Amino acid sequence: MTPPLTLTIAGFDPSGGAGILADIKTFHALGTYGTAVITALTAQNVHRVAGIEPVSLEFIKKELDLLNEVYPLKHAKTGMLYSKEIVKLVARKTREFQLQVVVDPVMVAGSGGKLSQKGLLESFKKELLPQAQLVTPNIMEAQELSGVNITNEEDALRAAEKIAKICPVVVTGGHLEGRDIFYNGSVQVIDGEILESSNTHGSGCTYSAAVTALLARGMQIEDALVEAAFFVKKAIKRGSMGTLNQWSNAYFKP
């Protein structure tokens, strides 16, 4: 059987733990054929970001158009888009291609490095989120998108309710008791746990890529969220972030 197609539109992390490389590994481990459009090059490792070189709008458009010429893409995710101009372009092209998009609203790297320019937040809310199938902010990103200061699960729920006025949202709980909160008219709390591990670089990228792959395989969104959380937890526990064979083993073996 031909595997489902998936697309990631994101930045390049040379460490392989986050961004395009992490997304492609996740797509492959979960049984889809991954394609990619690079929005920016970064000089970084798991500890720090030393530089960013955004790809020109013209070239990003060319990447998207050339893929669309030959691949019947339906499912995509976005990661690091860096500037409001790139967000606007990606929103326009994904709408043109009628893609079902999972948005990972990347603004800051796990190491603390800034991965966006001024104006990105408002561009997300105005241009991309209204057409998204799902947005997957962590606690800090949910605070930015909602304007709600999140210190507990009740705050996270209020933030999710506000964001869900734009599009369905899952507030990921890696920084708050490990639970995820999905809101799309009603609430679903997905149980989890806080993992004491240094193998978390790129976990947000991995989660959103996993959700995208599972949706491409025909899974319902509520089930995809549970399975994606399980996949990431297994990968972190086994220290497998960035190693393809271990990624597959982490998901497919008990």
Residue 189: CATH number of its domain: 3.40.1190.20
pLDDT over threshold 80, residue 229: yes
Q: Is 1 exposed, middle or buried (0-12, 13-18, 19+ CB in 10 A)?
A: exposed
Is 226 contained in some domain?
yes
Within 10 A of 237 (CB to CB), how many other CB atoms are there? 13
Q: What is the pLDDT of residue 47?
A: 82
Return the higher-pLDDT residue of 174 and 35.
Answer: 35
What is the rounded distance in angstroms from the CA atom of residue 11 to the CA atom of residue 36? 10
Write down the number of H helices and E strands in the chain. 9, 9
Residue 174 confidence class, pLDDT cut points 50, 70, 90:
low
250 within a domain of the structure (yes/no) = no
pLDDT (average), residues 59-76: 97
Percent over 90 (pLDDT), the chain: 62
In a domain, 58, yes or no: yes
pLDDT of 19 above 50: yes
Dump pLDDT digits (tens) for 131-159. Answer: 999 999 999 899 999 999 998 888 999 99
Which region holds residue 181: left if phi is over 0, alpha if psi is between -120 and 50, else beta?
A: beta
Please give the structure tokens belonging to residue 97. Answer: 């291609």
Q: Is residue 249 part of a domain?
A: no
Q: Mean pLDDT for the chain?
A: 86
Tell whether the model's pLDDT for residue 245 goes beyond 50: no
Q: What total number of domains does the chain contain?
A: 1
How large a percentage of the chain has pLDDT more than 70?
A: 83
Q: What is the pLDDT of residue 4?
A: 96
Q: Over the range 175-214, which residues count as b (16 or more CB within 10 Å of their CB) and which as e?
A: ebebbbbbbeeeeeebebeeeeeebbbbbbbbbbbbbbbb
pLDDT of residue 121 exceeding 50: yes
- Reply yes or no on whether the pLDDT at 70 is more than 70: yes
Candidates 80, 144, 87, 150; CA nearest to 115 is 80
Please report the pLDDT score of residue 37 as a whole number.
98
Structural domain boundaries, residue 24: 5-241
Is 185 within a domain? Answer: yes
Q: Is the pLDDT of residue 122 over 60?
A: yes
- The answer to whether residue 82 is domain-embedded is yes
Q: What is the pLDDT of residue 135?
A: 97
Residue 254 is assigned to a structural domain of this protein? no
Q: Is 14 helix (H, G, I), strand (E, B) or coil?
A: coil
Average pLDDT over residues 193-209: 71
pLDDT at 1 over 50: yes
pLDDT given at position 89: 97
Residue 181 domain flag: yes
